[in-house]
Amino acid sequence: MEYYKPEKKNKTKTLLIIVAFAIVLIPLIYYAFVGQFEITGGIVSQNVERPISIDAEIGLTEIEIDEKNIEARLMGVKSTTLNIGTQEFEFSQEESSLLLLESFDGEITIEKGPSSQIDGSVERAIVRGIPITNREKNRIDITTQDKAEYESMTISNVTIRNLEYETSGTINIGEQKSKIEIENENIKVNEFGGEITIQGDKMRLKGKINSMSIEGENSISVA
Amino acid sequence: MEERDEMATKRSRKGYLPIYLMNFVLLLTIILIITSGRPLSKLATGGAIIFIISSSMAIETHRSKDIYRVNSDFLIHIHGYFAKNTRKIPLITISDISVEQNVWQKLLGYGNIIIHIYSEGYNLKIIHISKPDIFGRFLEKKVNDKMSR
């Protein structure tokens, strides 16, 4: 005959449910109020080693940047229509204005010209010296209707996983600043993190990389 | 008023109130984050949705684990998730029935029934059922009817 025993309170089960709830709720709140913690992207880039410092001035190429929390400073903006929130800002051909994007999340496409497509959101934008924010929400949307033309652009706190193309220029590598001059050679940069400055048809990469190789007259590999 | 021949009961959803509250808190948090324009983590939102759905399914499954049925002769206890074990307790072996409700259970209308069984020498506890006083009175009536026959 089967004996029925009164059901004991399962404290382990209760604890597991509470822990599962906390595991879900805490990251939700943290991400909304404090910052990002993306498990794949964040941890991968934080764990990526970038032991080599680089300061390179090379030819400009097309780059697509999809990042969070970067700062972009555009100087000499002209011939551009910019949508910030519900407002439209026109920059004429004769104009040469400053545009500053603080804590930008989104995509910036860099093209020769130089010009860029901007699509994302910012905590604050400064247009012609006037700061623009969204009073109701934390962030304000920003997009270029076509391409933004400018004289120079500096993007800080940016990451580029892989950059490979043929170019010319000067590359300073390492703390000792070993100088490498390249002329129409194929450069491959792996895991760049730092600042990019675009001016004219040149691009300056200043920051840290994981590795770099140059293929051309002289093959060089730095890792 | 027509007298019922049989009554069945199982765990009330009110006994799972803490879990329903957790689900409500998660949903409310997501809604507040969206309406305030703050960034919403896809990973955490996915986790929240999985928690809500799986906890709701787990509650319904757990409720079905124990079903109690009273008829004119037996108190029947059907136990199990997929494989069901049925135990029939003759009503004549039931010596005493008591209803147990703490303050919150009284407010929400659910509680426990403790059934004292002569021959086994232990108590059967039916926990977290809705309106335990009604089930208890019905069981008591059926026991009395059986005894008087």
Dist. CA B10–CA B146, nearest whole Å: 23
- B5 SS3 class: coil
Dist. CA A134–CA A114, nearest whole Å: 29
- Give mean pLDDT, residues A61-83: 90
Taking phi over 0 as left and psi of -120 to 50 as alpha, with beta for the rest, A94 belongs to: alpha
Q: How far apart are the first and last CA of chain B?
A: 22
**Model pLDDT, residue A43:** 38
| Residues A27-53: tens digit of each pLDDT | 988 888 776 544 444 433 445 667 888
DSSP string covering A11-43, please? HHHHHHHHHHHHHHHHHHHHHHHT----TTHHH
Q: Where are the alpha helices (DSSP H) in chain B?
A: 17-35, 42-63, 103-108, 132-148
**Model pLDDT, residue B3:** 64
**Model pLDDT, residue A1:** 34
At B144, which amino acid appears? Answer: N
Dist. CA A178–CA A138, nearest whole Å: 44
- Give mean pLDDT, residues A83-94: 88
Distance from the Cα of B147 to chain A's closest Cα (Å) equals 24
Whether A171 shows a pLDDT value over 50: the answer reads yes
Dist. CA A193–CA B25, nearest whole Å: 39
Q: How far is CA A85 from the centre of its chain?
A: 21
- Give mean pLDDT, residues A119-143: 88
Are the CB atoms for B66 and A5 separated by under 8 Å? no
Residue of A nearest to B16 (CA): A14
**Model pLDDT, residue B141:** 92
ipTM of the complex: 0.80
Residue of B nearest to A35 (CA): B39
- Indicate yes or no: CB of A17 within 8 angstroms of CB of B22: yes
Laid out side by side, the sheet with B74-79 consists of B7-10, B66-70, B74-79, B85-90
Distance from the Cα of B149 to chain A's closest Cα (Å) equals 27
Q: Is the pLDDT higher at A40 or at A61? A: A61
Residue of B nearest to A29 (CA): B29
- Indicate yes or no: CB of B40 within 8 angstroms of CB of A29: no
- pLDDT confidence band for A207 (50 / 70 / 90): very high
- pLDDT confidence band for B121 (50 / 70 / 90): low
- Indicate yes or no: CB of A24 within 8 angstroms of CB of B47: yes
- Give mean pLDDT, residues B26-33: 93
How much of chain A, in percent, has pLDDT values that exceed 70? 88
Are the CB atoms for A156 and A69 separated by under 8 Å? no
- pLDDT confidence band for B12 (50 / 70 / 90): very high
CB nearest to A21's CB, from B45, B51, B122: B51
Residue with tokens 């029934």: B113
**Model pLDDT, residue B65:** 93
Residue of B nearest to A141 (CA): B37
Dist. CA B110–CA B132, nearest whole Å: 6
Q: Is the pLDDT higher at B96 or at A136? A: B96
At A78, which amino acid appears? Answer: K
- pLDDT confidence band for B46 (50 / 70 / 90): very high
CB nearest to A29's CB, from B22, B29, B124: B29
Quote the pTM value: 0.52
